[in-house]
Amino acid sequence: MSLLELKNVTLRFGGLVAVNDVSFSVEEGEVFALVGPNGAGKSTILNMISRLYTPAEGDILFEGKSILGAEPHDVPVLGIARTFQNIELFEQASVLQNLLVGRHTHCCSNFLTDMLFTPFVRAQERVHREAVEHVIDFLDLQPYRQKLIAGLPYGVRKVVEMGRALAVKPKLLLLDEPASGLSVEETQDVAFWIEDIKKVMGVTVLMVEHDMHLVSSVSDRVMALADGSMLSIGTPQEVQTDPAVIEAYLGSDDGTESGEAA
């Protein structure tokens, strides 16, 4: 059984078909990448999985069960965490608080016990903090713990957002353009982290990314989309050499070596 499975999913915005009859499955323990030109429907697919959009047709299965009945806030409870294309952090809170919000699905207290700060809540806070410290160590965020997000540089915010998703302790991690806007070195870090997320943490990754270099270095399988439809699926090598893909967005001339393909 695949971890995540999309079956003939179609989504329309008014007359526009954003995603057209797309099917694929993500196996446990792999890094799966969605590539394609802007407007191909990659982010839309992530948004459907995190239930911000509801497909008009088709079904989305997670661990064999349909998640179309779930609300957006139920999705992380199932074990799916995500990041956003244009960073959606809690601006007026510290890095630590942002990461702790990621632990929300693991909180068992309610607002009454919280306001009385019962010993149980205190113990729970310690456990959350320890879990978050692991993420901080993993992503080298130690210098930023108490800093407000509003004052952090772009690159660090991207990492914090990834950390927040990891704090959820998901089975499936959705990354929406994890390397966009990052420098070459930062992108390299992201590549190492994604490797480690897969190997060390055992988390399956589904990512949307434009940087073909990053995609081909970390992903096990790639799916290329154009105009909401599937073009090609397979190993990075297979997809990059698929004539349909080259035709669609690398241009008709030989562009296999282009790093930025958007």
Partner 1 sequence: MDILQLIVSGLANGCVYGLIALGFVLIYKATEAVNFAQGDFMMLGAFITLGFTNADHMGLPFWLSVILAIGIMGILGYLLDMIVLRRMFGQSQVAVVILTIALGFVIRFIAGLIWGHEPQSLESPLSGLELRFGGLVLGMDEVWVIIVTVALTALLYVFFARTKLGIGMQASSQNQLAAYYMGIPVKRIHSMIWALSGVVAAIAGILFASKGSIDPTAGLLGIKAFAAAVIGGFGSLPGALLGGIIVGLVEPFAARYMPAGYSQIFPYLILVVMLVVRPHGILSQIQTKKV
Partner 2 sequence: MRIVFKTSYDADIRLFKHKAQAFWYLLLFALAILLPFLISDFLIGEATLVLIWAICGMGLMVLVGQTGQASLGHAAFMAVGAYSNVLYQEHFSMPFLLSFPLAGLTAGVAGALIAMPITKLHGIYLAIATLAISVLAEDLIVIMEPLTGGVSGLFAPDIEIFGFVFNRYGNPVELYWLVLFITFLIVYLYRNMLRSPIGRSFAAVRDSEVSAKAMGINVARTKMVAFAISCFITGLGGALMGHFATIFTNETFNLIMSITLLLIIVVGGLGTIHGAFFGAIVFVMLPLVISLTRDALTVFADSGSVTIPGLESGLFGIILIGFILFEPMGIYGRWLKIRTYFELFPFYRKDMFRRQKSYLKTERTR
Residues forming contacts to partner 2 in the complex (CB under 8 A) are 50, 52, 71-77, 81-82, 84, 88-93, 96-97, 100-105, 107, 109-111, 114-117, 121-122, 124-126, 128-130, 133, 150, 164, 168
Choice between 167 and 224, CB closer to partner 2: 167
Burial class (CB in 10 A: 0-12, 13-18, 19+), 36: buried
Distance, CA of 138 to CA of 146 (rounded, Å): 17
CB of 181 to partner 2, least distance (A): 16
CB of 37 to partner 1, least distance (A): 17
Q: Taken in order 71, 73, 77, 83, is the CA torsion positive or negative?
A: positive
Choice between 166 and 233, CB closer to partner 2: 166
Distance, CA of 42 to CA of 166 (rounded, Å): 21
CB of 79 to partner 2, least distance (A): 11
DSSP-derived secondary structure for 76-132: HHHTEEE--TT----TTSBHHHHHHHGGGGG----HHHHHHT-HHHHHHHHHHHHHH
CB of 247 to partner 1, least distance (A): 28
Choice between 191 and 203, CB closer to partner 2: 203
Choice between 46 and 136, CB closer to partner 1: 46
Choice between 14 and 111, CB closer to partner 2: 111
CB of 72 to partner 1, least distance (A): 11
Q: Could you tell me the CA-to-CA distances from 16 to 4, 11, 54, 174 in Å, in that order?
A: 26, 9, 15, 25
CB of 150 to partner 2, least distance (A): 7
Apex 257 CA angle, 253 and 260, nearest 5: 95
Residue 187 contacts residue 193 (beta carbons within 8 Å): no
Binding partner selected for residue 86 from partner 1, partner 2, none, CB under the kind-specific 5 to 8 Å limit: partner 1
Residue 17 contacts residue 10 (beta carbons within 8 Å): yes
Binding partner selected for residue 42 from partner 2, partner 1, none, CB under the kind-specific 5 to 8 Å limit: none
Choice between 208 and 239, CB closer to partner 1: 208
Q: Which long-range contacts (CB under 8 A, 24 or more apart) does 107-116 make?
A: none
Distance, CA of 168 to CA of 134 (rounded, Å): 12
Residues of this chain that interact with partner 1 (CB under 8 A) are 43, 47, 52, 84-86, 88, 176
CB of 90 to partner 1, least distance (A): 15
Binding partner selected for residue 28 from partner 2, partner 1, none, CB under the kind-specific 5 to 8 Å limit: none
Choice between 14 and 64, CB closer to partner 1: 14
